[in-house]
Amino acid sequence: MSESTSNPASQRLLSWFDGLERCIVAFSGGVDSSVVAKAAQLSLGDRTLAVTAKSPSVAERDLQIAKEVAEAIGIRHEVIETSELDRPGYVANASDRCFHCKTELYDHLGLIRSCFAAELIVNGANVDDRGDHRPGMIAASNAGVRSPLLECEIDKATLRAIAKEWDIPVWDRPASPCLASRIAYGVEVTSERLKMVERAEAYLRDQGLRDLRVRYHEGDLARIEVPVESITMLADLQTSQQLHQRLQEIGFKFVTLDLGGLRSGSLNQLIQVSMDS
**Per-residue pLDDT tens for 91-150?**
999 999 999 999 999 999 999 999 999 999 999 999 999 876 789 999 999 999 999 999
Q: What is the pLDDT of residue 277?
A: 38
Q: pTM to 2 decimals? A: 0.90
Determine the Cα–Cα distance for residues 50 and 116; give it in Å rounded to an integer: 11
Contact predicate 181/263, CB 8 Å: no
Bridge-partner residues for 137, per DSSP?
A: none
Give the CB-side neighbour count of residue 32, counting CA atoms within 13 A.
Answer: 21
Given 3-state DSSP classes, what are the helix, strand and coil percentages for the chain, each rounded to the nearest 5? Answer: 55, 15, 35
Interatomic CA distance for residues 156 and 142, integer angstroms: 24
What average pLDDT does the segment 32-49 reach?
A: 98
CATH architecture classification, 179-276: 2-Layer Sandwich (3.30)
Indicate where the chain has its CATH 3.40.50.620 domain(s): 8-165
pLDDT in the model for residue 270: 54
The mean pLDDT of 181-200, rounded to a whole number, is 98
**Of 157-166, 220-229, 256-265, where does mean pLDDT reach its minimum?**
256-265
- What's the rounded Cα separation, in Å, for the pair 215 and 198? 10
In degrees and rounded to multiples of 5, residue 271 shows phi and psi of: -65, -45
Q: What is the pLDDT of residue 130?
A: 86
CA distance 271 to 91: 17
d(C-alpha 53, C-alpha 43), whole Å? 24
> Does the structure show a pLDDT above 60 at 276?
no
What is the per-residue pLDDT for 132? 67
The residue length of the chain stands at: 277
Q: Which residues does 250 contact at the CB level (< 8 Å), separation at least 6?
A: 196, 199, 200, 203
Q: What would the mean pLDDT of 206-213 be, rounded to a whole number? A: 93
- pLDDT for 268 beyond 70: no
The amino acid present at 255, given as its one-letter code, is V
Q: Which CATH class is domain 8-165?
A: alpha beta
Q: How far apart are CA 262 and CA 226, in angstroms?
A: 5
Cβ–Cβ < 8 Å for 93, 84: no
First to last CA, the chain: 56
* Mean pLDDT for the chain overall: 93
51 with 25: CB under 8 angstroms? yes
The pairs formed by 155-162 with CB atoms below 8 angstroms and a separation of 24 or more are: 155/126, 155/127, 155/128, 156/32, 156/126, 156/127, 156/128, 158/9, 159/9, 159/31, 159/32, 159/35, 159/126, 160/31, 161/7, 161/9, 162/7, 162/9, 162/10, 162/13, 162/35
Delimit the CATH 3.30.300 region(s) of the chain: 179-276
Q: How confident is the model at residue 195 (pLDDT cuts 50, 70, 90)?
A: very high
